[in-house]
Chain A
Amino acid sequence: MPEFRPRIVAFVCNWCTYAGADLTGTSRMKYSPQVSIIRFPCTGRIDFMLLLKAFANGADGIIVSGCHPNDCHYSSGNFHARRRWIVFRALLDFLGIDVRRIQFSWVSAAEGAKWARLVNETAERIHGLGPFTDYHRLRGMGVE
């Protein structure tokens, strides 16, 4: 059996976490290459249906990260994301998704080290949970 390499998609905001991840790079801190970033203007822009679509298309884990509460570049987008996450989280059990597969966090533009730590911890946890296959069968059933 080939070694399991989790696919983790990170949905991040442009102003805090994307810049924080840039700082991780500028500081040459190392982290797991299993995470790739998709940039959004704000976590408030993230439609949580996209998370399901990512799972349906082969993601094993997801990170959603933006500015800390009160620090949103657009005042309140991260609060909308947080509210959406609270509602969405309650649905995960019904959807058959282990809540540990989604990491919701705040990483500021100054927290390069936190981003590296967050990625590594998430990658390790997803590795422990194993591949997420339940949703692949949903492809072609309307979820995508």
Chain B
Amino acid sequence: MDQNNIDDIYRDRIILDHCRNPRNTSPIEYFDLKGDAVNPFCGDEIHFQIVLKGENSIERIQFSGEGCAINMASGSLLSEAVTGLTLKEAGQLAIRFVESMRKPIGEKVEGSFIGELSALTSVRNFPVRVKCALLAWSALEDAISERK
């Protein structure tokens, strides 16, 4: 088969790499915020624990989860993308990311996402899998909402 086909989704192997070797998975003993999201239809789960610096800046984030490659990679990529951001910035990133993932295929995504996070936008080529990429962002919103 044409391997490029499948790489439309699991682009540049970034998603596969993050799925096989997820980042930021070492357990944290003391954390300030936690967020969870579960998709009961497929059984996928994502959990975050966040250590804050000062009142509102993400110093460390720990990710754990279960599920498909896109779900796991999304959790891992998100954890890298939000480290160092303020909660407000992370919240804005989440809104922008979710909005762009929901745009129809072919429509241009405004702005670009930091580093490897842009790999996830390739999931838009396969609409039924978009929800797999969004679960982590629900878990992040759940964590941030604790501070609202």
Q: Please indicate whether A and B come from the same complex rather than being unrelated chains.
A: no
Interface, chain B (partner A; CB < 8 A): none
Interface, chain A (partner B; CB < 8 A): none
